[in-house]
Amino acid sequence: MQSDLPLMDIPEYYRKYQIQPQAQPEPAQTQKPVQVIAPPLVFKANAFTINLYEDWQDNTIYALTGPVSGGVEHNIIITIDPEVEVDSLADYAEWQVRSLEEELKACRVLLKEEIRLNNGMAAYHAVFSWYPTDDLRIYQEQIYVLVDTTAYKLTASFTKKTRKTLGPQVKRMMLSFNPQPAMEEKDEGK
């Protein structure tokens, strides 16, 4: 979408989102082709929908927040990667573990294991410790799930104390994860 506002009237931060005007050739006396716009897909979220046009994609990250304790706001972060190119859940999990080890300061892998979710689905569980600052040690648990080519990653972080106090409740929540097909797929099966 191109704005009619001159580029200089847009605050500096937003200029990168502005489509730069291009030199327009002189109009020819021929009829302009009509641009056909594909109808949007309807993106369905928990409490809203929005039309999502071609070249747009859902990169939603879900954050379920919990209590603040030990200077950490506890949460479960769920990320979805709809088109992973891996051969197995173990391959996806190993790739995620290696990536996290490279990203986090003084990261140590404490546990890697295959597990089952409450619904019986295969999953992979990893536990890390790392230091975001020199005086704060964080424990992070991740659960990975692979359904066809869609990967799910659930992440929760704790302090040493809250891993013992809140950890069991958070782990129960994570193990209750149950990926469901999109509403359109459910409705088509009726």
**Residue 153, domain member (yes or no):** yes
What is the pLDDT at residue 82?
Answer: 87
**How many domains in the chain?**
1
**Residue 158, domain member (yes or no):** yes
What is the pLDDT at residue 18?
Answer: 45
Point out the residues of the chain with pLDDT beneath 50.
1-11, 13-22, 182-190
**Residue 1, domain member (yes or no):** no
What is the pLDDT at residue 139?
Answer: 93
What is the pLDDT at residue 15?
Answer: 43
Contacts 24+ apart (CB under 8 A), 95-103: 96/126, 96/142, 96/144, 96/153, 97/126, 100/126, 100/128, 100/140, 100/142, 101/128
**Residue 31, domain member (yes or no):** no
Domain containing residue 72: 61-185
What is the pLDDT at residue 37?
Answer: 67
Between CA 48 and CA 43 the distance in angstroms is 8
What is the pLDDT at residue 36?
Answer: 66
**Residue 80, domain member (yes or no):** yes
**What CATH number does residue 88 fall under?**
3.40.1000.10
**Residue 6, domain member (yes or no):** no
Beta-bridge mates of residue 178 = none
**Residue 21, domain member (yes or no):** no
Between CA 76 and CA 83 the distance in angstroms is 22
**Residue 8, domain member (yes or no):** no
